[in-house]
Amino acid sequence: MDVLPKISDINNLKDLCKIIVLPLICACYIYQTNFSLDLDVYVLSISLEDSDKLKYIKFFFIFFGKILAASFFSMILYLGLIYAQVYIHNSVIPLAVLAFLTFGFVGVFSNGTLESIVPLKTIWYYTSFVVAFFLLAMNEQSKT
**What H or E segment, with its residue span, contains residue 66?**
helix 52-87
Residue 24 lies in a domain: yes
- 41-80 pLDDT, tens digit per residue, is 888 888 888 888 999 999 999 999 999 999 999 999 999 9
pTM (two decimals): 0.81
Domain that includes residue 117, residue range: 10-143
36 pLDDT exceeds 90? Answer: no
Instruction: Give domain status of residue 20, yes or no.
Output: yes
Mean pLDDT of all residues belonging to the chain: 85
Residue 4 lies in a domain: no
DSSP collapsed to 3 states, 22-64: HHHHHHHHHHHCCCEEECCCCEEECCCCCCHHHHHHHHHHHHH
Q: Decide if 26 is inside a domain.
A: yes
Number of separate domains in the chain:
1
What is the torsion angle, in degrees rounded to the nearest 10, for the CA atoms of residue 29, residue 84, residue 12 and residue 103? -50
* 1 domain residue, yes or no: no
pLDDT tens-digit map of 39-52: 778 888 888 888 88
